[in-house]
Structure 1
Amino acid sequence: MMTAHLQHTIEDKVGLLKAVAEFNHFNEENDPYGEHNFFRFKFEEEWIIARFDYYAPDMEHGSEDATDLSKTVRVLTIMLAIDY
């Protein structure tokens, strides 16, 4: 999922998705909780945030166990840092 503001600001959506998929430079500055479910990086002169949320299959509640894929739906949201 991409926020509306990001969709109107970033022209190279394919490049952005590739950058998110290939991201592996986690550190305290861009992954403040060390969980690798939240990170930020610069793309096209904009600060981007990507975060995973873990929902129960009903998509209304948090997952009981984010590591159990039978109990979890993972949602990736990509946004401009100013939207966070």
Structure 2
Amino acid sequence: MSASTLRIHLLNDQLRAFPFPPRGEMVLTRVVADLPTDDLSEVLRQVRTFDAFSIDNDPHGEHDFGSFAHNGVRYFWKIDYYDRDKEYGSPNPADPAVTCRVLTVMRADEY
């Protein structure tokens, strides 16, 4: 794993653990945001603690995607890298000074 990939991997893990500035932003789809409090808490806990990374779901080693089930429903989370103005992709996702990370949590059927 390159130093750049390792840095992205670590920044993504930090974002999932604490998804608020200065590390990035979190977006919940309407369906996820409208979950009952206990279900939403569990879904977010599973995003924060996700560690089932494999070559199939993390081929680049960046820890930028995960999938899990809660109450028989499949959920996805995905991290995207934007420039600081969120107009374009980040010029360097390994550099937090030029990157805004956005963590999106959704039901799989919303993808």
**Which TM-score tier does this pair reach, normalised by the shorter chain?**
0.7 to 0.9
Q: Which runs of 5+ in 1 are unaligned?
A: none
Q: For 1:5, give the aligned amino acid.
A: V
Aligned to 1:80: 107
When normalised by structure 2's length, the TM-score is 0.67
Aligned to 1:42: 69
**Aligned to 2:91, which of 52, 57, 64?**
64
**Secondary structure in 2 matching 1:59:** coil
When normalised by structure 1's length, the TM-score is 0.86
Shift of 1:38: 1.0
Q: Distance in 2 between matches of 1:15 and 1:32?
A: 23
Q: Which runs of 5+ in 2 are unaligned?
A: 1-26
The alignment yields a C-alpha RMSD, in angstroms, of: 1.5
Please identify which structure carries the higher helix content: 2
Q: Distance in 1 between matches of 2:70 and 2:104?
A: 16
Alignment coverage as a number of residue pairs: 82
**Aligned to 1:7, which of 26, 33, 36?**
33
* Identity percentage of aligned residues: 32
